[in-house]
């Protein structure tokens, strides 16, 4: 599988751009906000809600952050005007986090405050290990400024994740809010698990730690072992569809669109059958929906970082019935 994935990634850059676009269109919602809104209207009938991501990542100069800020402000306005059940997800490096943290915090605050005025939640995406601590610090900085409609992504594969969960929960209490995923970045073995089963086990432990801490837990995985473990963990803690969160004596104030202490999340175009099953069973399900003109860079970067995705994409193209959108 590893060799096949690397081989596909090696040859894909030589393929015509329209071929890459044909692959990418399954996993992105188009180039424009209007296309993203149309996609969400279509998928809303399946009981899903959404996290909107404007494609684009690490910038070279702070001036490059302005288009991202403007686009996210337009996204927030569109969520409000359309009434679509959605929040937003931003990549801190697209706002200058690896250039100037102070400026990046100001950029993040501008977006998060506008979202807060409209009761919209903001998720800070987690990127590679260069940005891990800085991303956590940015989220905490917003909380310290009295803006609590923000949370982070933590990656199960990272050795540091259990400590990050504990430290953030100690500081934020029930306001802690995580998306937990295995993690797409292929980090070195000195700081992360690299074996599939170890990564799954570590991700499952992270889910349990988050649930036991009382934090809001967004379970973002397409792996059956992780989803099955999460369902068992939720049931054993009295969490589930139609139930009040039993971990708190009084209700925790959260942004609109949140579930009863947890939710399941899926990438657009992946495991739609499982997402629909969870939704039919009453679980809150959210689709991570990226859009923008940087779809080519997004797709190629993801494939380079994790060639295993290329195998999944190829299987989907050859056997589409195995993975309905």
Can you give the residue ranges of every domain in the chain? 29-291
| Structure tokens given for 143 | 């909380």
pLDDT at 247: 96
pLDDT at 293: 86
pLDDT at 294: 73
Residue 9 predicted with pLDDT over 80? no
CATH (one of 3.10.620.30, 3.90.1300.10, 3.20.20.220, 3.30.1130.10) for 29-291: 3.20.20.220
pLDDT at 297: 67
| Structure tokens given for 17 | 């751009």
How many C-beta neighbours within 10 Å does residue 195 have?
11
DSSP string over 175-190: G-EEEEE--SS---TT
Q: How far apart are the first and last CA of the chain?
A: 23
Spell out the residues 6+ positions from residue 280 whose beta carbon is closer than 8 angstroms to its own: 47
Residue carrying the six token digits 């803006």: 147
For range 80-91, the mean pLDDT: 97
For range 36-62, the mean pLDDT: 94
pLDDT at 232: 98
Q: Cα(25)–Cα(67) distance, rounded to whole angstroms?
A: 23
Compare 272 and 6 and report the one with higher pLDDT: 272
For range 150-172, the mean pLDDT: 98
**What is the band of 303 on the pLDDT scale with cuts at 50, 70, 90?**
low
Residue 180 predicted with pLDDT over 70? yes
pLDDT at 134: 98
pLDDT tens readout for residues 231-286: 999 999 999 999 999 999 898 999 999 999 999 999 998 889 999 999 999 999 99
Q: Are 169 and 176 in contact (CB under 8 A)?
A: yes
Q: What is the DSSP letter of 242?
A: T
Residue carrying the six token digits 């005025």: 117
Compare 220 and 14 and report the one with higher pLDDT: 220
**pTM strictly above 0.85:** yes
Quick one: which of 277, 266, 207 has its CA closest to 239?
Answer: 207
β-partners of residue 179 are 153, 218
pLDDT tens readout for residues 196-236: 999 999 999 999 999 999 999 999 999 999 999 999 999 99
For range 31-43, the mean pLDDT: 96
Q: Cα(49)–Cα(61) distance, rounded to whole angstroms?
A: 34
Q: Are 290 and 53 in contact (CB under 8 A)?
A: yes
How many C-beta neighbours within 10 Å does residue 225 have?
14
Spell out the residues 6+ positions from residue 266 whose beta carbon is closer than 8 angstroms to its own: 220, 222, 272, 274, 275, 285, 286, 287, 288
């Amino acid at each position: 599988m590893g060799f096949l994935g690397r081989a596909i990634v090696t040859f894909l850059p030589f393929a015509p751009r329209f071929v890459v676009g044909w692959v990418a269109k399954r996993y992105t919602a188009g180039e424009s906000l209007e296309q993203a809104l149309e996609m969400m209207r279509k998928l809303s009938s399946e009981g899903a809600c959404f996290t909107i991501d404007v494609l684009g990542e690490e910038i070279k100069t702070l001036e490059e952050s302005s288009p991202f800020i403007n686009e996210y402000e337009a996204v927030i306005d569109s969520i409000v005007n359309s009434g679509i059940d959605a929040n937003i997800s931003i990549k801190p490096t697209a706002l200058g986090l690896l250039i100037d943290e102070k400026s990046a915090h100001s950029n993040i605050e501008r977006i998060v405050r506008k979202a807060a005025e409209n009761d919209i939640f903001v998720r800070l995406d987690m990127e590679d290990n260069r940005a891990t601590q800085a991303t956590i610090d940015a989220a905490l900085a917003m909380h310290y400024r009295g803006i609590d409609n923000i949370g982070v992504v933590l990656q199960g594969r990272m050795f540091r994740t259990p400590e990050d969960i504990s430290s953030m929960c100690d500081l934020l209490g029930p306001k802690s809010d995580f998306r937990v995923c295995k993690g797409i970045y292929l980090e070195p073995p000195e700081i992360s698990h690299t074996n599939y089963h170890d990564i799954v086990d570590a991700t499952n432990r992270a889910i349990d730690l988050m649930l036991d801490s009382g934090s809001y837990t967004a379970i973002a995985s397409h792996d059956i072992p992780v989803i099955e473990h999460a369902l068992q963990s939720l049931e054993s803690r009295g969490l589930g569809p139609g139930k009040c969160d039993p971990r708190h004596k009084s209700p925790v104030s959260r942004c609109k669109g949140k579930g009863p202490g947890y939710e399941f999340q899926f990438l657009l175009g992946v495991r739609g059958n499982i997402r629909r099953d969870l939704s039919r069973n009453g679980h809150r399900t959210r689709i991570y929906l990226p859009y923008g003109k940087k779809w080519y860079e997004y797709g190629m970067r993801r494939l380079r970082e994790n060639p295993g995705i290329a195998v999944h994409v190829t299987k989907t193209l050859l056997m589409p019935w195995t993975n309905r959108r």
